[in-house]
Amino acid sequence: MMTVTKPGLQSTLQGPPRRGYRHLGIPYAGPADPLSHALANRLVGNALSASALEITYGGFAGEFREDCSLAITGAYGQILVSGMAMPAHTTLHLKAGDQIEITQSEHGMRAYLAIHSGFEAETFFGSGSTYLPAEFGGLDGRALKAGDELSANQSAVFASTLETPPDYRPAFSNAVGLRACASAESNLLIGQDRALLFEETFIAGRQATRMGIAMTGHKLSPNSDGKMKSAPVFPGTIQCPPSGIPVILLCDAQTTGGYPRIASIARCDRHLLGQIRPGDHIRLLERSPEAALQDSAAKQKQLNDWLLT
């Protein structure tokens, strides 16, 4: 259905997260930005978690062998179809022989390309999402490369043309505020450290991947002897290793960890983590668990007005 001609820095097939397997040490995987992933699928009439392409830093190109309906959301520069500029957040109807190119965005990190009926992906532990560290799911458990052939689950032609309403289109910049709550070992932060965590601006370090994002610019010193027993962690957990540089865990991160869990990103803002790139500014906005739950419910209700209609 589509031949990959330029894979970009890292492009993978991502569908639903792997839920129910963390006790076996299997992370969620799935899209780093699940909101943009869902918006792309919505535009082509798919289930919101259908398998789609996650494209990191643009630089992707492909050629279609069959007619196809697709949509692109997330962080993108230019979208070119056979050399002609096309919009994002809109259903695009391509013909056999058409070529698509997605250039690097100025802000944000990942674009999502969905086709009607979804891409075929190898199912592992209930999901076709690519998990690169263990090399399963997606296409041979790896990032795409030039010459790869991707197929649709069924016909890739969608009869409708949809547009994401403007109010539902995420905007990305080089600064992000993330609502966050105290976590299991927040009590190990004393004095100035707690003020630093929630009152100062951090900078995303070079380690900004699907595994995690290092928060540089300030060092913390949790009151820990470094011998903490391993405990459960999840995407959004912020750990502080002996280096003093906090790390926000993302979708591909491990299921347990032995470093203090000093905070956790509220569920309503976790989709933003997938768009943070090295050098971006990060500010944590402290919330109580009750306030975070209220924010999450309100945001989900608003999104459902579009995503579930």
Exposed, middle or buried by CB within 10 Å (0-12, 13-18, 19+), for 126? middle
pLDDT computed for residue 239 by the predictor: 96
**Same domain for 282 and 162?**
no
**Same domain for 187 and 253?**
yes
* Cβ proximity of 238 and 247 under 8 Å: yes
**Same domain for 151 and 41?**
yes
**Same domain for 51 and 131?**
yes
112 closest CA partner among 30, 162, 52, 62: 52
- In degrees and rounded to multiples of 5, residue 167 shows phi and psi of -65, -15
**Same domain for 144 and 215?**
no
**Same domain for 90 and 227?**
no
Instruction: Kindly report whether the global pTM for this prediction surpasses the value 0.95.
Output: yes
* Cβ proximity of 271 and 33 under 8 Å: yes
Range of the domain at 162: 2-168
pLDDT computed for residue 227 by the predictor: 73
How many structural domains is the chain composed of? Answer: 2
**Same domain for 56 and 181?**
no
SS3 12: strand
**Same domain for 124 and 37?**
yes
- In degrees and rounded to multiples of 5, residue 79 shows phi and psi of -115, 115
Q: Of 168, 183, 218, which residue sits at a domain end?
A: 168
**Same domain for 161 and 186?**
no
**Same domain for 205 and 62?**
no
On the CB side of 279, CA atoms within 13 Å amount to 6
Q: Of 130, 148, 168, which residue sits at a domain end?
A: 168
Distance separating alpha carbons of residues 144 and 277, to the nearest angstrom: 21
**Same domain for 30 and 154?**
yes
**Same domain for 53 and 132?**
yes
Q: Which residue ranges of the chain lie beneath pLDDT 70?
A: 226
Q: Of 168, 193, 213, which residue sits at a domain end?
A: 168
Query: Count of CB atoms within 10 A of residue 308's CB?
Result: 9
